[in-house]
Every structure is written in structure tokens, then in C-alpha cells.
Amino acid sequence: MKPILRRIAALYLFCASTSALGGGFSVGYNEAWFVYNYPNWLASNPYYYTNPPFNFSSNFGVLPNPAPGTTLSVIDTYFAAMAEGNAKIVRLWLFPGLQGILLDLSKPAGSQTQGLTPDFLNPNKTCGNLNTVLLSAKNHGLTVYLTALNANDMAAAVATPLQAYFVNLLNDSAERIAFKSNVLGPLLSCLNQFNASYPNVVYGLDLINEIEAALNSNYFSASWVGARNFIQDMATFVRSKSPWLRISASAGYSEAVLEITLGLFSGLGLNFYDVHVYADGGQYPGVTWLCNKVLADHVPLILGEYGQKSQIVDDGLQYWTTANFLYGAKTNCFSAALAWKYEDPIQPWLAYFTIPDPINNPNKGTFRPAYYLIQYYGSLN
């Protein structure tokens, strides 16, 4: 860290240490997917949403191409660095681009969701590759916040063969029943097995990341009424199969704070709310009203994604953005704050770990100054 940043940090952290509320606050990172492997970081992707659809083999264990005997080197290295930085939570996406899901779009609606790929769910019904990742996180003292569907995939699938599939899935058709039976049910069964052996490793499940993307793309015939129905139905199913598992549905885009404040996520059976905010300087309106709402609902709140808005690599901007987001979260009503993203070669301005050569050497890189700020906040509890 540059000397001037060290001096500024000392002053800021002194203020934080004397002002922050004590206890009950965790820090962590969104990793979501590793390096460039969005559609296939964990499992194969037989039906990616490009037009025509593309079949990706799994890149799990070859992220991107480690030497024999080091097939999990990238995942283990990143988890170790997060833990050394006092992170407690890592958020991972299960089905980006419908990774790990077997589809047959030649069949009629209601029977297109066939199940999970064998690399995602082993024939003996254990969690396959996911089990390996969860064990790695456990060994590094991390809890894992899992995300199922991603509504941004639905926005990207407009005008592709998957658009009709997503319409059916979201709008209470037989396809949603097939998805619950053939994908969500087997996932929950293997998570139940894992939790029985290793409790408290799975932090929770985000049913759908930023459902606003699907709303903005006109997927729901009844707008927020349809969106709330989808969330509530999925939450009820999860609760019936895995009563131990905490459930959320993350709110994103520019109105996320207002949406939770207005109660659009209330009364749906969620165990915690998850709001995503991007703002230069880490300051945004509506926090007081937001906290009044979640306290009235008696539902915990996390800052599930945060980061700067400007697309420029600027250590000072990232540092002060992170500082204000963390200070504001800890001194208000948030129980956790997860930075986006631990590493991000696609959007490097958001990365906390910079990789000069993400293709040939994704393990090697440097921490940006804001990493050490997260490390400090993680040391307070």
C-alpha cells in the first residue's frame, strides 16, 4: 500500500473502530465464477444461450490449464487468500448460463428440464464437483453463499431459443414444476447430505440473482406480482426440502434499495434480504428507510454485492468506495457485506486481486489496497 494511503487508512480505520457497531458483521467476496469460465466453471453446459446454442465441456479442474496434480490450484489459492484477508463468506453461482442443467427444448413445455449433468450431480447423488468446492471452502474456514438462477442470463437470452423456456419457467407453468423436481430437488438433496456431515458451511441460497433483469426484459406477464409469486413458490419448495437452509432472493439494479424498502421482497418466506449497490464513493440514498423496513420485518439484511460504478482502474477510488460501503454497512443494519469481485479480468476495475496473466498463470497476481481494508473489517469480530 502506498505511504499516503497508509496514513489515510490509519485515520479512517481509527474512526471506524470507535464508531462501528460491535459484533454480528461479516465480510466476504463474490467470486461467482473463476477467471473467464462463466458458463462452465463448475460443470458442463450442454445448452448455453448463444444463438445457435453452444455446448461447453466443463472447465472445472482446468482453470484454465493447471499442471497435472494441481487441478484445484486456482480455487484453493483464491479461497486461502480470502481467508487470510479475514473473509468469512464467499458467494458462488451454481447455474450461470444454465451450467450443469440438462435441457431438451425439442420436448413440449413442462418436460424440457431434464435434470443435472453427471459432473454436477454424481450418479450416487452426491454433489459431485460442488461437493469438492464446498470441502475446499470448509478447509479454509469459509462459508459459501450459493446462487441458483441468474436473471441476467434471462435478459441475455431474449431472441434466442431459451427465451420461451425462461418464460415458462418463471410464469408458474409445468416447466417450473419440472425445474423444482429435476434440478432444485436433487441439488437440495445433496446439500442436505453435505450439511449433515459439515454443518454451517453453506451460508444460504439466493434463489435468483437480480430478478429485476427478468422484469426489465418483460418475462413476467404480471410484472412484480408474477415475480413475487415465483420467489415465494421457490422459497416454499426449498423450505419443504431443506428447512435448515437460509433463503434469499437478491435485489439489484438502480432501484434495489427502494424495492426492499417498499416491501416488494417482504412476506415471501425469505430468511434474509440481499441488496446490491454500485456507487462511486460507496454512498447512496435511502439507507435509513431501508433499515427501518428490514427491522420492522424482523429479517436480516446483507450487502450482497458492492463496488464502484466508474469503469476505470483507480486504487484510490476503489479504496474509498470500499471504505464507505463497509463503514455504512457495519454502522447501520447490515449483517454482512460482500465485495464484487475477488478477481475479475473482464472488469478489472472491480477486482481486489489483479492477475497480470489470467490465461497462463491465474494464481499469480497482486492485492489492491482495498483488499487490506476488507481484511481490517474482518478482524473486528
Q: Which of 161, 207, 128, 151 is nearest to 46 (CA)?
A: 161
Mean pLDDT, range 31-44, rounded to an integer: 92
The neighbour count for residue 139, using CB atoms within 10 Å, is 13
pLDDT band of residue 68 (cuts 50, 70, 90) is: very low
For the chain, percent of residues with pLDDT exceeding 90: 77
What are the cell numbers at 156? 441475455
Whether 183 and 224 have beta carbons less than 8 Å apart is answered as no
pLDDT band of residue 2 (cuts 50, 70, 90) is: very low
pLDDT of 271: 98
Q: Reply yes or no on whether the pLDDT at 107 is more than 80.
A: yes
Residue range(s) defining the domain that contains residue 33: 3-378
pLDDT of 54: 82
181/187 Cα distance (integer angstroms)? 10
pLDDT of 66: 45
Q: Reply yes or no on whether the pLDDT at 289 is more than 70.
A: yes
Looking at the structure of the chain, the number of domains it has is: 1
pLDDT of 48: 87
What are the cell numbers at 320? 474509498
Q: At what angle do helices 223-241 and 162-170 cross, to 10 degrees?
A: 70
Whether 342 and 353 have beta carbons less than 8 Å apart is answered as yes
Interval 225-247: pLDDT, tens: 999 999 999 999 999 999 999 99
Q: Reply yes or no on whether the pLDDT at 279 is more than 80.
A: yes
**Maximum separation of any 2 CA atoms in the chain, in Å:** 64
Mean pLDDT, rounded, of the chain:
90
Exposure of 38 in the CB half-sphere (CA atoms within 13 A): 10
Q: Reply yes or no on whether the pLDDT at 308 is more than 80.
A: yes
Mean pLDDT, range 129-153, rounded to an integer: 96
Mean pLDDT, range 251-271, rounded to an integer: 97
How does DSSP classify residue 182? I
Query: Amino acid identity of 136?
Result: S
pLDDT of 123: 65
Mean pLDDT, range 19-36, rounded to an integer: 78
pLDDT of 12: 44
Contacts of 276 (CB under 8 A, 6+ apart): 210, 250, 251, 252, 253, 256, 303, 304, 305, 306, 340
Which of 6-10, 252-256, 329-333 has the weakest average pLDDT?
Answer: 6-10
pLDDT of 53: 75
- Is residue 341 reached through a cis peptide bond, with omega within 30 degrees of 0 on the bond before it? yes
- Per DSSP, the three-state class of 241 is helix
377/13 Cα distance (integer angstroms)? 9
122 or 14: which leads in pLDDT: 122
pLDDT band of residue 252 (cuts 50, 70, 90) is: very high
Q: Reply yes or no on whether the pLDDT at 25 is more than 60.
A: yes
Q: Reply yes or no on whether the pLDDT at 13 is more than 70.
A: no
pLDDT band of residue 364 (cuts 50, 70, 90) is: confident
- Is residue 52 reached through a cis peptide bond, with omega within 30 degrees of 0 on the bond before it? yes
CATH of the domain at 122: 3.20.20.80
What is the DSSP track for 36-74?
Answer: T-TTTSSS-EEEESSSS-EEEPP-TT-SS-PPTT-TTHH
Whole-Å CA distances, 7 to 14, 290, 323: 11, 33, 14
State the sign of the Cα–Cα–Cα–Cα dihedral 280, 283, 286, 290: positive
Whether 154 and 214 have beta carbons less than 8 Å apart is answered as yes
For the chain, percent of residues with pLDDT exceeding 70: 90
Mean pLDDT, range 244-268, rounded to an integer: 97
Interval 184-226: pLDDT, tens: 999 999 999 999 999 999 999 999 999 999 999 999 988 999 9
254/62 Cα distance (integer angstroms)? 36
The neighbour count for residue 50, using CB atoms within 10 Å, is 15
Interval 320-358: pLDDT, tens: 999 999 999 999 999 999 999 999 999 999 999 999 888
Contacts of 224 (CB under 8 A, 6+ apart): 215, 264
Mean pLDDT, range 175-188, rounded to an integer: 96
Query: Amino acid identity of 257?
Result: V
pLDDT of 103: 94
Using a cut of 0.85, tell me whether the model's pTM lies above it. yes
- Per DSSP, the three-state class of 313 is coil
Q: Reply yes or no on whether the pLDDT at 154 is more than 70.
A: yes
pLDDT of 125: 65
196/298 Cα distance (integer angstroms)? 28
Whole-Å CA distances, 196 to 78, 123, 189, 200, 244: 26, 19, 11, 10, 10
pLDDT band of residue 62 (cuts 50, 70, 90) is: low
The neighbour count for residue 380, using CB atoms within 10 Å, is 17
